[in-house]
Amino acid sequence: MKFTPFFGLLYFANGLGIEIESIETRVVGGYAVDLAPSWLGALVVVNSRGEPDQLICGVILVSPHVAITAAHCIFEDTSIYRVVFGVSSRDDLPKSPTKIENPASIKIHPDYESPAPGVLLNDIAVIIFKEKIVEYTPIRIAKFLPYGENSQQCQIFGWGATGKSTNGVLSNGDLPRQLHTATLEVFSNEHCQRFYSEYTSFVNGDIHLCAGSVNGSVDACRGDSGSPLVCGTEVVGLVSWGIGCGEPNLPGVYTNVLYYLEWINDNEMVNTDTGIAECACGLSRADRITNSQKAKTDTWPWFVLIAKSDEAGNYRQVCGGTLVGTNFIISAAHCFVFEENVSGYNFIPTQRYRFYLNFYSKRDLSNARLATAEWIKCHPRFSQQKRGIYNDICLIKLKKSLPCDSKTRPACLPTKTPSEKKVGGLSDLFRSTLIRFVMRLASVI
């Protein structure tokens, strides 16, 4: 059988000298789509006039200024690439309302390699845009894999071949003009290893996913490279490689995007227009936690332990907090407002407070990141009454910004009050109060 990267260009070598062979391309067992998802882009090569000329791979927008694709789609001269959004048909490329973006930079994963013909490891690349994409909505990266207790129907999208291979060889045919999609199953690592029992040294359960159908009726194929495997409203994988297309008991092999989340985050931080580091919020190494399991170091990079000193200078924990920017923390007002200080927008004394991040146990803070406050301001209508505590929130500005990496990273603030009565354990009243309070302090921030 023949190993086949799901790629659709003419035969030539990419920047790592890995040869990719030409063959016709399509989604096997799918159907045409009239409207492309807002987060789906097309990687195209431009002609000598700078116009989109050839669609070669799929691209997934994962933040307003970062997209991901397969590393084997990228070649040494990155100036030839453009990303086009709003493409449902190949015929859309030169037309509006498509949006053509010229990438500021393209980075291939440093460990990308091909240990055998057609077999790809760490097959992922990030595309960074100079300006934020505001017309199209990014897709979230899944926090857990869609099998076992998280099992669900998943879809692939692509402009690749729609026919099956025979003994690993595809029949000739024209590329479909229209974007296609198909519904398939994501197999567990155990099943994936069983399918590829002869090739277990190539199929890695951490970096790879297997998806398709046991009988081969649904699969990705040549030309679908870099296209997304989507489960629900989250992206799980990137089309990477396989043995033939639509072969029984040989599902397609996908790049497991979750495994590369930290690497994507690290590349997402640089604003290519200003050169200033930006910090993407709400991203962590967290696995699903149930029944109050112990969290690992780096699991929640926005969690803050707040300690206060006594008269002897000994610090003890008084509260927790949440990092909401590289130099801002929110916490409860009752942690700071006592009889000896004043509530409202008057500054609360900061000298006795310390803020610790990135630690495993509060009994050992020797390796934690330590921050101190420039000022602490609490909600002007904070009050403690017999019926409860109201407007219980403070904003703390740190003297120095914290590094933005896997160890310290801010949580995301909501942009609007959710319609549900409870989201993430917080009531609408609390969230709307938080939003209004932070907006009211915006002039100070």
Its sign, for the CA torsion 69, 75, 78, 81, is: negative
User: Within a domain: residue 288?
Assistant: no
Are 409 and 302 contacting, i.e. CB atoms less than 8 angstroms apart? yes
- Determine whether 225 is an active site residue: yes
| Same-domain status, 112 and 195 | yes
| Same-domain status, 94 and 37 | yes
Residue 357 identity (one-letter amino acid)? L
Which of the following is catalytic: 63, 65, 72, 180?
72
Residue 106: beta bridge partners? 127
| Same-domain status, 335 and 267 | no
| Same-domain status, 134 and 270 | yes
Look up the CATH number of the domain holding residue 25: 2.40.10.10
pLDDT value, residue 21: 37
Boundary-marking domain end, from 261, 278, 295: 278
CA 217, CA 164: separation in Å to the nearest integer?
8
Q: What range does the domain containing 344 cover?
A: 303-440
User: Within a domain: residue 64?
Assistant: yes
pLDDT value, residue 275: 39
| Same-domain status, 268 and 334 | no
- Determine whether 123 is an active site residue: yes
| Same-domain status, 59 and 106 | yes
| Same-domain status, 331 and 269 | no
User: Within a domain: residue 274?
Assistant: yes
Boundary-marking domain end, from 278, 294, 328: 278
Which of the following is catalytic: 88, 114, 213, 225?
225
Burial class (CB in 10 A: 0-12, 13-18, 19+), 29: buried
Which of the following is catalytic: 65, 114, 123, 224?
123
- Determine whether 109 is an active site residue: no
| Same-domain status, 334 and 228 | no
Residue 32: beta bridge partners? 180
| Same-domain status, 321 and 175 | no
Number of domains in the chain: 2
| Same-domain status, 245 and 389 | no
- Compute φ and ψ for 372, nearest 5 degrees: -125, 160
Boundary-marking domain end, from 213, 244, 278: 278
CA 158, CA 174: separation in Å to the nearest integer?
15
Residue 440 identity (one-letter amino acid)? R
pLDDT averaged over 10-residue windows placed end to end, the chain, 445 residues: 44 36 44 87 86 86 91 88 87 67 90 88 92 87 77 82 50 65 88 82 86 81 86 92 84 91 73 50 53 57 91 88 91 77 58 88 84 90 83 91 83 60 42 53 43
Which DSSP string do the residues of 339-371 spell out, in sequence order? TTS--TTSPPP-TTEEEEES-SBTTB-TTSEEE
| Same-domain status, 239 and 388 | no
Extended beta strands in 164-245, E state:
165-166, 169-170, 180-187, 208-212, 228-231, 234-243
User: Within a domain: residue 184?
Assistant: yes
pLDDT value, residue 421: 43
User: Within a domain: residue 294?
Assistant: no
